[in-house]
A and B are shown apart, each in its own frame.
Chain A
Amino acid sequence: MANAAEDKSIYYVPENGWYPVWVALGVTCLLVGAGRWLNAIKVGGEPSFIVLWAGVIILTVVLFSWFNKVIQENHAGLPNAQVKRSYVWGMSWFIFSEVMFFFAFFGALFYARVFAVSWLGGEGDKGITGDYLWPQFTPDWPVVNNPDPSRFTNPHESMASPGVGNWLSYLPFWNTLILLSSSVTVHFAHTAVKNNNRGGLKAWLGLTVALGALFLFVQGYEYHHAYQELGLTLGSGIYGSTFFILTGFHGFHVTLGTFILLMQLVRAFRGHFKPDDQFGLEAASWYWHFVDVVWVCLFIFVYVL
């Protein structure tokens, strides 16, 4: 009887496994728990976290076991080149779907800025709306004077770029440099493993993780600054809404990406990855380049323009 490890023409179909159905259960618990929490906060009730934590624990245990299993199977030589191509397709199109997720928020930013705000300010085809509702509203971007400031508190100031000359004292500019450099370092780590340079792999990957963490620290500092000093919050109108949802979901993706790269670093120290077989690392680096590109778009469309 042939098996996948011997006969490379056979496509490896894994045996039945308990992981996926538990992931489905875990993610449902996570979301139900989060929903109960949010609804409790909204009515000022006492939230219960049991379901939420159950979800977190289930997901942590199951995802760890699942990834571990896939890595072990790979070390056992079960997947052939064709299976690995499926992983490549899978990761590529997953990143495409993530791009479309950000596309929705960039679309909202574009629509709000180009159409909604100017119509509310009395400009263009639908300007009559603004004339009737809030005639005093002027359609500037960033919006620091909301149509109805009694419901959405005006921020004192926006996060907009102070002009290229002042970028050296502008934190988002430094964050751009940090993230762009980390894309370079992760590429060096990838090249190092391909050249069988284990030391280089660990050093460059470690540096990438550090840069990711530094980016997150700076971003956290910036949020603190926005909330405490600029009065810029999620509730300060469309500028704050689009600013925080775009940078926030990006920050969430950087957190995920940093964690994934950290896991690859742990694997590197355990001797995983070969010059001709390192898709785990490669997929993580693709993901990292993706969050980098999203940041460049953010820097241009959210901060500078």
Chain B
Amino acid sequence: MSAVIETHHDDHHHGPGKGITRWLFTTNHKDIGTLYLWFSFIMFLVGGAMALVIRAELFQPGLQFVHPEFFNQMTTNHGLIMVFGVIMPAMVGLANWQVPMMIGAPDMALPRLNNLSFWILPFAGGLLVSTLFMDGGGPNFGWTFYAPLSTTYAPPSTTFFIFAVHLLGASSIMGSINIIATILNLRAPGMTLMKMPLFVWTWLITAYLLLAVMPVLAGAVTMMLFDIHFHTSFFNAAGGGDPVMFQHVFWFFGHPEVYILILPAFGVVSQIIPTFARKPLFGYDSMVYAVASIAFLSFIVWAHHMFTVGMPLAGQLFFMYATMLIAIPTGVKVFNWVSTMWRGSMTFETPMLFAIAFVVLFTIGGFSGLMLAITPVDFQYHDTYFVVAHFHYVLVPGAVFGIFAAVYYWLPKWCGRMYDEAMGRLHFWLSFIGVNLTFFPQHFSGLAGMPRRIPDYSIQFADFNMWSSIGAFIFGFSQLILLYTVIKTIKSGEPASDRVWDGAHGLEWTLPSPPPYHSFTHPPVVTDAEAHS
């Protein structure tokens, strides 16, 4: 045993490893956070390129560039990559960087598990993308992979798609366990639950959602695997099963999943708005309860995604009213963000611009969600571009803007250098214009009846689609500004102060910029001034 003690003699003073092994073998929450964020950005470009293939094809009516079969593979993989390869990893990356610093911990609770959670992702992402190059093509049944499209009529690569989903799920489950253990066990003395920063709260609740629903997704794809390879009949009515059952199991995962994507962004915005309004967050307690209520309600609304499949009237009514209830806690949150800004000494640096755009544009996405919740109306909207406009409004200027805001807000803390404010604003305005130009017209084409997941369309939708495609290319290429700005910051940004923003509160700002390799070797003292914001 003595040899073991020897090798660990200076465990708490070791720095980063050398070369590539620093990244392959790391147990450090900051290094792993960085890996998550870069992985997410690379996948953002891959998934974004797929989106641009879709928009290029839809620029004009008629078939222009790609075969319809390939178009289906693009819509499917764009969705899967953006959900599982971009937004989720980016949020986990933010949690990795921020949660230990915000609660006064030295690192994540289970550092080796943390490394495993990350390193599964490139393998899983690689496996998913590789299906596009297999015989018979990649998954082409939409990101929701409804049976029997994904079972009876699926390409052979579906087997690998299923295993990729298993791997992604395992990564998320391990990441969530780690985040829960960190938040529950590693808070500094005095950091009581109701003093935790909102970002930590939203991630705690998100981690529980992930733990509850990722295994259900694993169950869904496992039943698919058995239907494909072992002749079971879960989703085949000829054997007494039901394809609609797939949709129930999928959306029992799928609806909490959309809150998994957005709740951490709620947390980010709840950190940023108080800083730049120079006021404490309005209604902290109600924010916590609102997030918890949204998370609870997310488990009992899933069938609003499938009103048109035919379900008993009682089911339609229940899921309609339960869905509408979500507007209440969400309204509380929007009200509190606006009230925080009320009479604040506001300044509009890039993180604040993204946060304010988040509040406005996410609310638009929330309203279109309310319209979709109304069962009889949904019969008209179902599977049209109105749905596409709705979920892109909550995911792009919602979750993705939340991630952008977080990156600009904390980047100076992470690397000790200030980003170029002019470039940040340029990135913001081009993204803002691009995203609205892309998705706002889709509300109209959808209401007029344009179906989603279609490579060709009636000429009456031509103008809306042209605007949409122009917007998509503006949005897509403006992301290169983000890449340039981040690299420039890392290489040659002006040194940043420890506090960075003069209205910022929280333990992370008490550390130097950049913070030491191990955040808090000894627990810090939590003062009221640093709590609650």
Contact B232 A13 (CB under 8 A): no
Which residue from A75, A101, A112, A129 sits with its C-beta under 8 Å from B241? A112
Is A238 interfacial (CB-CB < 8 Å)? yes
Name 22 interchain pairs, CB-CB below 8 A, sorted by A: A1-B10, A4-B12, A12-B11, A17-B115, A20-B119, A27-B167, A93-B180, A100-B215, A104-B218, A108-B234, A112-B241, A112-B245, A116-B241, A116-B242, A116-B245, A120-B240, A147-B240, A235-B231, A235-B232, A235-B233, A241-B232, A245-B232
Is B415 interfacial (CB-CB < 8 Å)? no
Give CA–CA (A78, B219) in the complex, Å.
38
Which residue in chain B gives the minimum CB-CB distance to A241?
B232
Give CA–CA (A116, B26) in the complex, Å.
49
Residue of A19, A23, A38, A100 with most partner-chain B CB within 10 A: A100
Which residue from B22, B112, B218, B226 sits with its C-beta under 8 Å from A19? B112
Is A276 interfacial (CB-CB < 8 Å)? no
A38 to chain B, nearest CB (A): 5
Chain B residues whose CB sits within 8 angstroms of the CB of A2 once the complex forms: 12
Is A11 interfacial (CB-CB < 8 Å)? yes
Contact A101 B12 (CB under 8 A): no
Which residue from B9, B116, B127, B238 sits with its C-beta under 8 Å from A20? B116
With A89-B184, A116-B241, A237-B240 as given contacts, are A98 and B109 in contact (CB-CB < 8 Å)?
A: no
Is A210 interfacial (CB-CB < 8 Å)? no
Chain B residues whose CB sits within 8 angstroms of the CB of A98 once the complex forms: 215
Contact A35 B160 (CB under 8 A): yes
Is B357 interfacial (CB-CB < 8 Å)? no
Is A203 interfacial (CB-CB < 8 Å)? no
Which residue from A31, A42, A234 sits with its C-beta under 8 Å from B167? A31
Is A212 interfacial (CB-CB < 8 Å)? no
Residues facing B in A203-218 (CB within 8 A) are none
Give CA–CA (A82, B14) in the complex, Å.
21
| Interface residue tally on B, bucketed by range | 35 or more
Which residue from B116, B181, B229 sits with its C-beta under 8 Å from A41? B229
Give CA–CA (A115, B310) in the complex, Å.
12
Contact B522 A9 (CB under 8 A): yes
One digit per residue, 1 when the CB lies within 8 angstroms of any chain A CB and 0 when it does not, for chain B 225-253 equals 11011111110111111101100110010
Is A221 interfacial (CB-CB < 8 Å)? no
With A10-B521, A104-B219, A241-B241 as given contacts, are A23 and B233 in contact (CB-CB < 8 Å)?
A: no
Chain A residues whose CB sits within 8 angstroms of the CB of B156 once the complex forms: 39, 42-43
Chain A residues whose CB sits within 8 angstroms of the CB of B223 once the complex forms: 104-105, 108, 245
Contact B240 A112 (CB under 8 A): yes
One digit per residue, 1 when the CB lies within 8 angstroms of any chain A CB and 0 when it does not, for chain B 199-237 equals 000000000000111111011101101101111111011
B99 to chain A, nearest CB (A): 14
Is B391 interfacial (CB-CB < 8 Å)? no
Is B163 interfacial (CB-CB < 8 Å)? yes
Which residue from A19, A35, A83, A125 sits with its C-beta under 8 Å from B159? A35
Contact A143 B240 (CB under 8 A): yes
Contact A20 B239 (CB under 8 A): no
Which residue from A85, A89, A101 sits with its C-beta under 8 Å from B218? A101
With A32-B160, A112-B241 as given contacts, are A73 and B180 in contact (CB-CB < 8 Å)?
A: no
Contact A104 B215 (CB under 8 A): yes
Chain A residues whose CB sits within 8 angstroms of the CB of B459 once the complex forms: none
Sort A-B residue pairs by CB-CB distance and give the 10 closest, nearest first: A104-B219, A238-B240, A235-B231, A20-B116, A152-B239, A116-B242, A148-B238, A241-B232, A101-B215, A31-B163
Give CA–CA (A95, B360) in the complex, Å.
40
Which residue in chain B gives the minimum CB-CB distance to A107?
B249
Chain A residues whose CB sits within 8 angstroms of the CB of B26 once the complex forms: 16
Contact A104 B216 (CB under 8 A): yes
Is B392 interfacial (CB-CB < 8 Å)? no
Give CA–CA (A23, B170) in the complex, Å.
12
Residues facing B in A166-191 (CB within 8 A) are none
Is B105 interfacial (CB-CB < 8 Å)? yes
Contact B105 A11 (CB under 8 A): yes
With A5-B8, A13-B111, A28-B123 as given contacts, are A234 and B231 in contact (CB-CB < 8 Å)?
A: yes
Is A260 interfacial (CB-CB < 8 Å)? no
Which residue in chain A gives the minimum CB-CB distance to B210?
A97
Chain A residues whose CB sits within 8 angstroms of the CB of B233 once the complex forms: 146, 152, 235, 237-238, 241
Q: Which residues of A contact B (CB under 8 A)?
A: 1-5, 9-21, 23-25, 27-28, 31-32, 34-35, 38-39, 41-43, 66, 72-73, 75-76, 78, 82-83, 85-87, 89-90, 93-94, 96-101, 103-105, 107-108, 111-112, 115-117, 119-120, 124-126, 129, 133, 143, 146-148, 151-152, 233-242, 244-245
Chain B residues whose CB sits within 8 angstroms of the CB of A146 once the complex forms: 233, 238-240
Chain A residues whose CB sits within 8 angstroms of the CB of B113 once the complex forms: 20, 90
B115 to chain A, nearest CB (A): 4
Contact B106 A11 (CB under 8 A): yes
Is B530 interfacial (CB-CB < 8 Å)? no
Chain A residues whose CB sits within 8 angstroms of the CB of B234 once the complex forms: 108, 112, 238, 241-242, 245
Residues facing A in B1-51 (CB within 8 A) are 1, 4-5, 7-14, 17, 21-22, 24-28
Give CA–CA (A235, B236) in the complex, Å.
11
Chain B residues whose CB sits within 8 angstroms of the CB of A90 once the complex forms: 109-110, 113, 177-178, 181
Contact A89 B185 (CB under 8 A): yes
Which residue in chain B gives the minimum CB-CB distance to A106?
B219
Contact B12 A16 (CB under 8 A): no
B305 to chain A, nearest CB (A): 16
Contact B159 A238 (CB under 8 A): no
Is B120 interfacial (CB-CB < 8 Å)? yes
Chain B residues whose CB sits within 8 angstroms of the CB of A16 once the complex forms: 14, 17, 21-22, 25-28
B410 to chain A, nearest CB (A): 21
Contact A11 B186 (CB under 8 A): yes
Contact A15 B229 (CB under 8 A): no
Is B166 interfacial (CB-CB < 8 Å)? yes
Residue of B8, B127, B184 with most partner-chain A CB within 10 A: B8
Give CA–CA (A233, B231) in the complex, Å.
9
Chain A residues whose CB sits within 8 angstroms of the CB of B232 once the complex forms: 234-235, 240-241, 244-245
Chain A residues whose CB sits within 8 angstroms of the CB of B12 once the complex forms: 2-4, 10, 13
Residues facing A in B87-110 (CB within 8 A) are 105-107, 109-110
Chain B residues whose CB sits within 8 angstroms of the CB of A35 once the complex forms: 159-160, 162-163
Chain B residues whose CB sits within 8 angstroms of the CB of A32 once the complex forms: 127, 160, 163
